Each structure stands twice: as structure tokens, then as C-alpha cells.
Amino acid sequence: MELTIDAIGGEGDGVAAGSIFVPFTLPGERVSARVGSGRAELVEVLAPSAERVTPPCPHFGICGGCALQHWEHAAYLAWKVERMVGTLARERIETEVLAPFAAGPGTRRRVTLHARRGDRDGARLGYKPRGSWDLVEIDVCPIAEPAIQASIPALKRLAARLFEHPKSAPSLHVTLTDAGLDIDITGVEARSGGLSADARMQLAERAAEADFARVTLNGEAAYMSRQPTVRLGPARVALPPGAFLQATAGAEAAMTAFVAAEAAGASRIADLYCGVGTFTFALATVAPVHAADFGTGVVVALSAALATAPGLKGVSVEDRDLVRRPLLAHDLRHTDTVVFDPPRAGAAEQVAEIGRSGAGRVIGVSCNPATFARDARTLIDAGFALERVLPVDQFLWSPHVELVGVFKR
């Protein structure tokens, strides 16, 4: 069929009349496509958009990692911001939208690479195509930090020893730290006893050859030459295996500076869903902070890092499941500023308590505008106003957009 693309849908596909989704197309384009069940396969772009550019990655269009490399950057970024504004509007929320932060190519410091059996010296390594369990083997990844890209051959050699059991489908969660690459491996069949002693030894040998900082299997140490660390504000944090970090260091710095500036003048701050302290240490230069999150590993890491950051105004740390046991309004009675940075599901239970508290300022960080909008509506109904929002694009060429919102009562 010949189709005219009217808009870009939520997953980054072009949308034609009749809600037909055509990947790798742009608004205004006329295309030829094979159509079935509301989705289409692009055959040819017959009349390209003036905003179409040459994708920088040779794997684009096959690999499922990126959806929008073919779109000129300014138009692509404007679409992300418009999509975020539209999501807020569905909850009847209007606010000031600041100029977005946009990460550039070669800045992603954490990626997840999937491995499939290859030969003894190298596994097949790459990303899954959209809607498939197959694998697109990659040689380059323009979104990733150069150090991660350069390690792809060594990662293939490392993964070759993970297939003793036919049901193993390993994933390598690779993070660039100040000490080098930290790799946590999941998906290795464990019911058969996991990797043999011989495979573990070879895994460690290949990690040493590549000079990786650490390799873990589901969080269990398999090899370590150096403790992976990152600097968060004035602190140096020793990362537990598989610890969450913002995807790019630039986005982390921009969000941290924004959050700390918006918290200026606070007398006591609650940092909820604090993780290893992404915002905690910067906030603790402003006022005393109570940091809370669920998981012994992150709480221990944050607590230990306090010794590396003298001069803070005080930090207390609590291991607490904020979904099952949110801090109650009573717990926040001496807190005037609350920062929350929940996972994609949002912070419905915790936000309800914040709304009932006496806090006058709330700063919400979110990787999911839909759940942020839901939580924002709860705060607005409790007497807050969403004064401004900072859009953050750190998942380059994907449909995902993040944001930081500032609420005042």
C-alpha cells in the first residue's frame, strides 16, 4: 500500500490514516509499506520529509535499540517535549516547560547487551529486534560511551563461556565506572547448578585479559580487580553489583544541579527512592537530608560513601520499602522539602502521604511522564502547584523522555 504519514506515535513509529503504524517514517512522508493487523513494514520512502537525515548506525532499522535515528535532531527533540506536555495535559496539568537537556551520541554509560551462543572464542552479542527474541549482533553502538564500544570484542569473548546449559540466555548489564567496566550477568541457567568451576575460571581469565573492573553473576562476584566507583557530588560511591545509575553522566549532572538549586533555602530535606545517592550528596550541601530506599546494598553503599564527603550538613539513611511502608505525613512533620525519584511505576503511595504532610516544596524526578502526571495530579489536588518542568532526553533516539518537576504549595 501507499500511505501518507500523519504523525509519530508513542513508540516512535509513523502513524498513517486508520491507525496504521509504520516504523522508520516521519510526518508528511509518502511511503510504500506491507500492511497487516494495524502494523506495517516499510518497503520504500517515496517522498521523504525535509527532516529526514542519514542514520549514523549501520545496524539501524534492524536493531531494536533505536527508533528515531532518521529524524533531524531539533524536530525529534521538539516531539519528545510535545509528547511530555500532552501526557501532563491528560491530567489537566499546565506548567512552564524549560529548555530540555539533551544527551549526545557516545554518552550512554550503561547498556544491556544480550548474548547468544557463538563459538568457543566469542558469543553473538547485541540487541533484540522489536517484538522478537532473535538477536541483532552488533559491532558498534553510537549511543554508548567509546569505552563500551571498544569493549564489544572482549565482551563477546567473555560471554562465550556462559552457555553450558542449553536454556541459558545471558544478558550483560554493562556500566562504565571511574574504575572501568562493571558487568553484571543475568540469564544464566541456575537450576542445573549454574556455571561449572572451569567455566567460572575461564570467565575470570577473560575478564582479566580485558582489564574489566568487576564481573558478577546475578550480583555474586565472579571476578574483581578494582572496586567500581563513581563520584556523586562531593562523595565517591562504591557501587554494589547491578546498582542503578542515570544513563548518562551529563544528564545526571544537569538533573542534580537543577534539583539542588530548586532545594535552595530548605531547612530539612527528604530524599525518597534515593538509590546510591544520586541527589543525596548534593542536597546535603544545602540542608540535612533523610535518605530512604529499599535494598541493603544501596543503603550500605550510600552510608559508606558519607565518609568520603566531609562538610555535609548531615545525612540519615533508612532501608525502607516506600511502596509497602511509605514515609507517613507524621514522619515528614519536620521536613519542608521532599525529593522523590521512583521507578517507572511511580510513587502513588508515597505521594499521597506527601500531600498530607506539611512540606511546602516537592521536587519529582521521573522516567515515566504518565505515572509522573498521575502523581502530580495527587499533589495538585492536595494544594500544590506544578511550577515548572525540566524535560530530559538521555535515551537518545528512543521514544523515552524523562523530567524533573518542581511543586510548591
Using CA atoms, how far residue 239 sits from 108, 178, 184, in Å, is: 17, 11, 12
Q: Are 51 and 72 in contact (CB under 8 A)?
A: yes
> Which of helix, strand or coil describes residue 280?
helix
The C-alpha cell 550541601 sits at 285
Rounded to 10 degrees, what is the CA torsion of 269, 273, 278, 282?
Answer: 0
Q: Identify whether 66 is a catalytic site residue.
A: no
Please tell me which residue in 57, 66, 274, 367 is annotated as part of the active site: 367
Q: Are 379 and 396 in contact (CB under 8 A)?
A: no
Phi, psi of 399 (to 5 degrees): -80, 0
The C-alpha cell that represents 302 in the structure block: 550510600
The rounded distance, in Å, linking the Cα atoms of 283 and 262 is 10
Number of Cβ atoms within 10 Å of the Cβ of 296: 9
The rounded distance, in Å, linking the Cα atoms of 102 and 248 is 10
Q: What is the DSSP letter of 328?
A: P
Active site residues: 367
